Amino acid sequence: MLSKTQRKTPTVIHKQYKISRIRSFYMRKIKYTQSNFHERLSQIIQEFPKLDNIHPFYADLMNILYDKDHYKLGLGQLNQARHLIDNVAKDYLRLMKYADSLYRCKQLKKAALGRMATIMKRQGSNLEYLEQVRQHLSRLPSIDPFTRTLIICGFPNVGKSSFLNKITRADVDVQPYAFTTKSLYVGHTDYKYLRWQVIDTPGILDHSLEDRNIIEMQAVTALAHLRAAVLYFIDISEQCGHSISEQIGLFKSIRPLFNNKPLLVVATKTDIVGLDELAPEKKELLTVFDDLETPLLSMSMLTDEGVMDVKQTACETLLAFRVESKLRAKKVDNVLNRLRVAMPAKRDNKARPPCIPEAALQKIADRERGVKRKLERHIEEELGDDYVLDLKKNYDLPDDYKYDVIPEFMEGVNIADYIDPDIFKKLDELEKEESNREEAGYYAVPKIEYDQTMLEIKELAKQIRDKKSIMRQDALLVKQSTKPRLGRQALSKNREGVEARNSRSRGRSESATDAPSGTKRQRLDSEGNALSVGRGQSGSKSRARSDSRVTPRDQSGLRDPQVLMKVKKIAHKAIAKKVGKWGLKGEGDRFIGTKKPKHLFSGKRGIGKTDRR
């Protein structure tokens, strides 16, 4: 917290600062530290579960695992520390208002932060305890107290975890000694398209409630608070290390926990000793469950015998119990008032058995006999190169119609099944009616004969349409040209310059012809200046060389470099306008409007950073 305060608040005081600014500088540090401590402690206190606001099962489980008083005391001391830090900050901010020097302000800040740190150091043991609680809470299984639940209980090493592994996808450690399972484990299974929660509890020993340890008390808590079907496991082979009489004694001692819950007793390890193979005196002990009207089931984990029967019986029992309890509740009357159940009465005594197609019955019979359906792949393997794919053999049609070109199929149905039987008769009537209409002249179109004037008008209209099309294409070509255009003023100046140059060259040529024959004739360049023709150089050769000089494309038709610059500026503005302020022509555009913006490259450097203003 102290380093965060140093990082997130200003750190330098300059000599020109007033005392009010120095006070606010140090007050800001005290406030920042106090608000950080307050927020972090509030987050810890709020995010830990409050035992009074959660389900009684979780409240009792936390009481067993972490001691409710110790837990509440730890959170209460953190709450007290938060109040003390708030009061320290308030007191020192009040004193800071009267500090008259930099030294006093600094010492008050130091004292305030030191007292806050001392308060938090005293909470070290509380925070360690709460961190252990947090880590352990995150490892607890997520148990929904309101969903359909099966709870497995009994002595240690009677096969509870093995049963959970069999019917769910849980992977609980199974070992041949007692108390392998030391906490609650949860698995999920499906039955009748519903999700069921199965809880494996640690083993319980037969002694008083005060003598039970934390591991056993977790199972007792689950049995006491969760509305679920209870499966009490008894090892009739006595390999768990406890006799049948001891296991029945435990059942009787925890019997009050099973009140108002569906209960099943399951005899395990029947692959070693079956119920029929038990000694008479041990069979006599098991009759206690008949007196309590509790069903006794048997199963073996090794051979999987009876495992699914136990699961189905437990689920059915719990479903019936939940439905019955809902019917006894008051809410059901409001629901039933909105429902109307129709009870149809028989209209006659005629038997109406279900109509099952022969193909479906054949499939069921083949499945019962163990006959596997021959797939197209198997037929292809048998025939080899002689195999031909026949898509029509499974059509639901008589064999006479299966391979006809007509009828065709559309959307899985045979069109021929939906043809009207009188269609040909109706077609003859329709054709006869059409022929009568044709004879009567119903469809006759009157012929229009154009005179010479109309023909000329049509020809003229065709020529106008062709001309319009050509003009439209020409306009489109002109519009698509990307050559930069000069303004009207620049064009007029350019035109004047070209005309003047032409007239000048024309006048010189005339004067050259009028010159006396004795004077030497001089050649003129494009600007009207005289070109010297050296000895040995013929006029035709220099003329050919001057004609071969090619004007660059972007300078054609321009008078001088000033007009060229003006054209380039106009082109640049057009591009900037088209691109927009921040837009780009494409991925390769590197256009920078302003090379050195003034606000980044001018002015004095002040106190702050130099990379931005």
> Which CATH number belongs to the domain containing residue 275 in this structure?
3.40.50.300
Q: Is 435 helix (H, G, I), strand (E, B) or coil?
A: helix
In this structure, of 12-26, 325-339, 475-489, the range with the lowest mean pLDDT score is 475-489
Q: How confident is the model at residue 121 (pLDDT cuts 50, 70, 90)?
A: very high
pLDDT value at position 18? 92
Report d(CA 593, CA 582) in Å as an integer: 9
Length of the chain: 613
Residue 207 inside a domain? The answer is yes
Report d(CA 507, CA 501) in Å as an integer: 10
Residue 311 inside a domain? The answer is yes
Is residue 205 scored above 50 in pLDDT?
A: yes
pLDDT value at position 513? 45
212 & 246 share domain? yes
pLDDT value at position 335? 80
190 & 315 share domain? yes
Report d(CA 85, CA 37) in Å as an integer: 8
Is residue 27 scored above 60 in pLDDT?
A: yes
Where is mean pLDDT largest: 93-102, 296-305, 343-352, 559-568? 93-102
70 & 188 share domain? no
Is residue 175 scored above 60 in pLDDT?
A: yes
248 & 283 share domain? yes
Mean pLDDT rounded to a whole number for the chain: 80
In this structure, of 171-185, 415-429, 541-555, the range with the lowest mean pLDDT score is 541-555
Q: How confident is the model at residue 63 (pLDDT cuts 50, 70, 90)?
A: confident
Top pLDDT among 277 and 515 is at: 277
Angle at 109 between CA 104 and CA 111, to 5 degrees: 95
Is residue 83 scored above 90 in pLDDT?
A: yes
Residue 445 inside a domain? The answer is no
How many CB atoms neighbour CB 418 within 10 A? 9
Residue pLDDT, tens place only, 463-476: 999 999 999 998 88
How many CB atoms neighbour CB 30 within 10 A? 23
Q: How confident is the model at residue 42 (pLDDT cuts 50, 70, 90)?
A: very high
φ, ψ dihedrals at 525, nearest 5° = -85, -175
What lies within 8 Å, CB to CB, of 361 at 6+ separation is none
Which residues is 300 bridged to in the sheet?
A: 305
E strand map for 175-254: 185-191, 194-200, 229-235
pLDDT value at position 462? 94
Cα within 13 Å of Cα(566), Cβ side: 15
| DSSP code of residue 329 | S
pLDDT more than 90, % of the chain: 21
Is residue 374 scored above 90 in pLDDT?
A: no
Domain with 102 in it: what CATH number?
1.20.120.1190
274 & 295 share domain? yes
Q: Is 400 helix (H, G, I), strand (E, B) or coil?
A: helix
DSSP for 6-30, please give it.
HHHS-----TT--HHHHHHHHHHHH
Residue 313 inside a domain? The answer is yes
Place of tokens 């005629």: 350
Of 329, 352, 375, the residue at which a domain comes to its end is 329
Q: How confident is the model at residue 32 (pLDDT cuts 50, 70, 90)?
A: very high
301 & 245 share domain? yes
Report d(CA 588, CA 301) in Å as an integer: 73
Of 136, 171, 187, the residue at which a domain comes to its end is 136
Q: How far is CA 569 from CA 482, 551, 565, in A?
A: 15, 20, 6
In this structure, of 181-190, 338-347, 477-486, 587-596, the range with the lowest mean pLDDT score is 477-486
Place of tokens 């040909």: 424
Question: Residue type for 443, please?
Answer: Y
Contact status, residue 230 vs residue 262, Cβ threshold 8 Å: yes
Report d(CA 295, CA 317) in Å as an integer: 11
125 & 152 share domain? no
Report d(CA 413, CA 188) in Å as an integer: 45
112 & 166 share domain? no
Token digits for 366? 């083949």
Please count the structural domains in the chain: 2
78 & 186 share domain? no
Report d(CA 194, CA 318) in Å as an integer: 12
Report d(CA 111, CA 152) in Å as an integer: 60
Helix H segments across 266-392?
280-286, 288-291, 307-328, 331-337, 358-369, 376-383
130 & 205 share domain? no
Is residue 587 scored above 70 in pLDDT?
A: no
274 & 155 share domain? yes
Q: 0.85 cut: is pTM over it? A: no
295 & 169 share domain? yes
129-151 mean pLDDT: 85
Of 136, 164, 179, the residue at which a domain comes to its end is 136
Identify the CA nearest to 115 among candidates 11, 13, 37. Answer: 37
Is residue 580 scored above 50 in pLDDT?
A: yes
Report d(CA 378, CA 384) in Å as an integer: 10
Residue 549 inside a domain? The answer is no
φ, ψ dihedrals at 417, nearest 5° = -70, -15
Helix H segments across 48-101?
56-66, 68-96
Residue 455 inside a domain? The answer is no
Residue 117 inside a domain? The answer is yes
Helix H segments across 67-211?
68-96, 102-121, 124-139, 160-167
Radius of gyration of the chain (CA): 52
β-bridge pairing 229-235 and 263-268: parallel
Q: Which domain holds residue 255?
A: 143-329
First to last CA, the chain: 30
Place of tokens 């039933």: 336
Contact status, residue 71 vs residue 136, Cβ threshold 8 Å: no
Top pLDDT among 352 and 417 is at: 352
Residue 36 inside a domain? The answer is yes
**Exposed, middle or buried, 275 (CB in 10 Å: 0-12/13-18/19+)?**
middle
